[in-house]
């Protein structure tokens, strides 16, 4: 058993666990600061654990709606995770260039079913 390492941080196992369990791989990133503060400087200072990775995933799980009726903190972390995930997504290029300065990729052909619907609307 050992105290929490100073360099303890989120890893792929934590992200995979949260992605599989709740669909948000960036959820651990929103909890790591509170977790480290508690175990390094707070009430948990100096306490020892066998497996800090398991302790961290339990920390997140215990805050989830499956384990508690107070979901306000969970929802706040969930919103932060969604924002972090949104930053990773690439922006979609505009369908047109209003300034006419960049080359616009050629449009893909419209499927027949969609073309028939558009023709009926016109």
Residue 89 clears pLDDT 70, i.e. is over it: no
pLDDT for the residue numbered 63: 85
- Indicate the SS3 state at residue 2: strand
Q: Are 40 and 4 in contact (CB under 8 A)?
A: yes
pLDDT for the residue numbered 28: 92
Q: What is the sign, positive or negative, of the torsion defined by CA atoms of 52, 36, 28, 78?
A: positive
Tell me the per-residue pLDDT of 57-66, one tens digit each, with 9 for 90 and over: 999 998 887 7
Distance CA 107, CA 109 (A): 6
Would you list the DSSP string of 42-98? Answer: STTTT--BS-HHHHHHHHHHHHSTTT-S--HHHHHHHHHHHHHHHHHSPPPPPSS-T
Tell me the per-residue pLDDT of 99-114, one tens digit each, with 9 for 90 and over: 555 555 555 666 676 7
Residue 54 clears pLDDT 70, i.e. is over it: yes
Would you list the DSSP string of 14-25? Answer: HHHHHHHHHS-T
pLDDT band at 93 (very low <50, low <70, confident <90, very high): low
pLDDT for the residue numbered 86: 75
Distance CA 82, CA 53 (A): 22
What is the mean predicted confidence (pLDDT) over 28-42?
89
Residue 50 clears pLDDT 90, i.e. is over it: yes
pLDDT for the residue numbered 113: 67
What is the mean predicted confidence (pLDDT) over 77-100?
66
Residue 58, token pair as written in the block: 């339990």
What is the mean predicted confidence (pLDDT) over 8-32?
91
């Amino acid at each position: 058993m050992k105290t929490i390492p100073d360099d303890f941080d989120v890893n792929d196992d934590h992200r995979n666990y949260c992605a599989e369990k709740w669909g948000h791989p960036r959820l651990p990133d929103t909890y790591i600061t509170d977790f480290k503060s508690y175990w390094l400087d707070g009430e948990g200072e100096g306490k020892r654990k066998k497996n800090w990775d398991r302790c961290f995933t339990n920390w997140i799980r215990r805050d989830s709606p499956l384990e508690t009726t107070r979901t306000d903190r969970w929802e706040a972390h969930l919103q932060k995770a969604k924002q972090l995930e949104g930053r990773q997504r690439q922006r979609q290029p505009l369908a047109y260039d209003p300034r006419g300065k960049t080359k616009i990729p050629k449009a893909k052909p419209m499927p027949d079913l969609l073309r028939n619907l558009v023709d009926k609307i016109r």
